[in-house]
Structure 1
Amino acid sequence: MTDELMPDPAVHVAGAQEVAPDLLVIPNRRVGLVPNIGVIGGTQAVLVVETGMGTANAEQVLAFASEVARGRRLYLTTTHFHPEHAFGAHAFAGRATYLVNRAQADDLKRKGPGYLETFRGLGEPVARRLDGVTVPMPDVVYDNGYDLDLGGRTVRLRPTGRGHTKGDQVVEVPDAGVLFTGDLAETGQFAIFPWFPPYDTDVSGVRWLAVMERLAAAATGSRVIVPGHGDPGGPQLLADVRDYLRELRDETWRRRDSAMSEDSIVAEVRALLAERHPEWAGQEWIERGVGCLCAEHSL
């Protein structure tokens, strides 16, 4: 993608929407490399979910959250380590307590520097957002989940196991029926498979599908699903992603069993799924998903 086509990944807090009492979502407006961002309030504290990419975006989110908090304590968490989700956390240092699960902390330490350099090469607008950014380190690292008491409201931070990344976590607000999924789910977009062998092969289509099966089955109490990118929706969003991953696996493995070449599998599956989901963006991620599942088929 050229600089002329690469949009500026700017967060716009003015578009924040209240999806439940004292729970706001700053929407990504379907702009690439901009996540949906949450601001979740209790009587004593406020939790921010995601930072946006880079210092300027994160400072805008921090200022917005501080205005919402009105003196309440601030916390920050991120659904996974990718730059548009977490590479603004440094701006919260000294102002908010940053909590992540252990696998995500390991991703930040092990893979963060490489992702920072890679994203700086995606074009001038992204490089400008990442100017001066350092890979963040969390204040609190937890295992097996964390229940954060905001005062009259408990938010559940739950690692899901390997899927889109090794360190994925979901953020659930049970009293409001709201679930933040990060990039485990997107609206109107093919699932993002960061499958770039030999540099990054942590994504797992098989395990991601298992995660989505669990999330979809457990979503009976959720009224609002906030995906990593795209419009919030209802529980059907989780089922849609589950069904797509199952479809991708089955179509890929059926052809793999017939000893087709991977190039032929990619071409056939991409054409088939693009035809079945013509309104979805990100067709380039189909072939990454096929590559991942071809590799997992042979295990």
Structure 2
Amino acid sequence: MPQETLLPDEPLPHRALPDPAVRTDGAEEIAPDLLVIPNRGVPLVPNIGVIGGTRAVLVVDTGIGTANAEQVLAFATEVAKGRRLYLTTTHFHPEHAFGAHVFADEATYLVNRAQADDLRTKAAGYLEMFRGFGGDIARRLEGVRPPTPDVVHDGGHELDLGGRIVRLRATGQGHTKGDQIVEVPDAGVLFTGDLAETGQFAIFPWFPPYDTDVSGVRWLAVMDRLVADRARVVVPGHGDVGGPEVLTDVRDYLRELRDETWRRRDSAMGEDEIAAEVAALLIERHPQWAGREWIERGVGCLCAEHTG
């Protein structure tokens, strides 16, 4: 396996996780011909979009593994009622893209170039890593192979679904190098992928020396731009659908994390001590948020960016 795909055996926080099963029976119509299959707060289940126009339907993200993606495809096919199908993914991580192979020959799969590069160079390593978690996650990844996009765009792509234009826009490096938002301008809806979550601390896949592509500094700049765009409805990668506050909450948290980390870095504290102090402070400020284990990863990333 190429060096860039290698990952540590257990880089993610080790805890028992429930079966990451997508349930299409609870799909919610948040605008005309625009549905969200909610993640219901289940770890490793994303919010999935099904966006329709008069001629075509676009699916946003697949869920993890073959069985989940088969459910999503069947649901989208029923919604489409003969309309053409497209698929896009917000980034390459397993719960978002590791069902795309199911859509082969059924839908046209589009991503931005940086995400296509991530799929080519990193997906195999993440597949190996997630299978190593065992249990339901490994079971859902049996027989899965990293997907290959049909169409790769540079920076942005306007997809005409018939009476509805959907914009696929690469944001630049943030949560990953290949983050992509999906905008539905006529409905004021924005799909963010894991650039934004609700009810949890931002996910920093900071696993040096294996994967260090996440950037807290650039992620914060991305969020500043997204807040300025003034979407009315925000569909985060995980958590409840909401309004503009979804974006401002994430932006404000990333700013807190940066400022508190860099303030201590300037005092020459050790990184472990910085992480402990910052985690305690941010947990006190956001006691109801899940994913506390990601604070330390974020501190590590921002310490490296401060030094760099």
Same fold (TM over 0.5): yes
What is the alpha-carbon distance in structure 1 between the residues aligned to residue 44 and residue 245 of structure 2? 24
Q: What letter matches 1:70 in structure 2?
A: K
Offset of 1:123 from its aligned partner?
2.6
What is the alpha-carbon distance in structure 1 between the residues aligned to residue 133 and residue 211 of structure 2? 17
What is the alpha-carbon distance in structure 2 between the residues aligned to residue 159 and residue 247 of structure 1? 25
Matched, 1:253 2:265: no
What is the alpha-carbon distance in structure 2 between the residues aligned to residue 241 and residue 278 of structure 1? 15
Q: What letter matches 1:170 in structure 2?
A: I
Residue 25 (structure 2) aligns with:
14
Q: What letter matches 2:251 in structure 1?
A: R
Residue 106 (structure 1) aligns with:
117
Runs ≥4 in structure 1, deviation > 4 angstroms?
Answer: none
Residue 170 (structure 1) aligns with:
181
Q: 1:225 is matched with which residue: 234, 238, 249?
A: 234
What is the alpha-carbon distance in structure 1 between the residues aligned to residue 155 and residue 246 of structure 2? 25
What is the alpha-carbon distance in structure 2 between the residues aligned to residue 33 and residue 10 of structure 1? 9
Residue 4 (structure 2) aligns with:
none
SS in 2 for 1:232: coil
What is the alpha-carbon distance in structure 2 between the residues aligned to residue 237 and residue 53 of structure 1? 24
> Is the contact between residue 6 and residue 123 of structure 1 (CA under 8 Å) also seen in structure 2?
no
Show CA shifts across 1:66-96 (max 9, x none): 0000000000000000000000000000000
Q: What letter matches 1:276 in structure 2?
A: R
Mapping of residues 190-201 of structure 1, within 5 Å: 190-201=201-212
Mapping of residues 72-221 of structure 1, within 5 Å: 72-219=83-230
SS in 1 for 2:169: strand
5+ long unaligned stretches in structure 2: 1-12
Show CA shifts across 1:108-152 (max 9, x none): 000000000001112311000000000000000000200000000
SS in 1 for 2:159: strand
Q: 1:284 is matched with which residue: 289, 293, 302?
A: 293
% identity of equivalent residues: 80
What is the alpha-carbon distance in structure 2 between the residues aligned to residue 155 and residue 138 of structure 1? 18
Residue 271 (structure 1) aligns with:
280
SS in 2 for 1:39: strand
Q: What letter matches 1:278 in structure 2?
A: P
Matched, 1:57 2:94: no
Q: What letter matches 2:81 in structure 1?
A: R
What is the alpha-carbon distance in structure 1 between the residues aligned to residue 277 and residue 134 of structure 2? 31
**Bigger mean CA offset, 175-184 vs 119-128:** 119-128
Offset of 1:2 from its aligned partner?
7.0
Q: 1:243 is matched with which residue: 249, 252, 266?
A: 252
Show CA shifts across 1:178-207 (max 9, x none): 000000000000000000000100000000
SS in 2 for 1:175: helix
What is the alpha-carbon distance in structure 1 between the residues aligned to residue 210 and residue 14 of structure 2? 23
> Is the contact between residue 2 and residue 123 of structure 1 (CA under 8 Å) also seen in structure 2?
no
SS in 2 for 1:287: helix
**Bigger mean CA offset, 12-21 vs 116-125:** 116-125
**Bigger mean CA offset, 119-128 vs 63-72:** 119-128
Number of residue-to-residue matches in the alignment = 296
CA RMSD of aligned residues (A): 0.9
TM-score (norm 2): 0.95
Q: What letter matches 2:227 in structure 1?
A: A
What is the alpha-carbon distance in structure 1 between the residues aligned to residue 47 and residue 134 of structure 2? 22
What is the alpha-carbon distance in structure 1 between the residues aligned to residue 33 and residue 268 of structure 2? 54
What is the alpha-carbon distance in structure 2 between the residues aligned to residue 217 and residue 270 of structure 1? 29
What is the alpha-carbon distance in structure 2 between the residues aligned to residue 2 and residue 281 of structure 1? 15
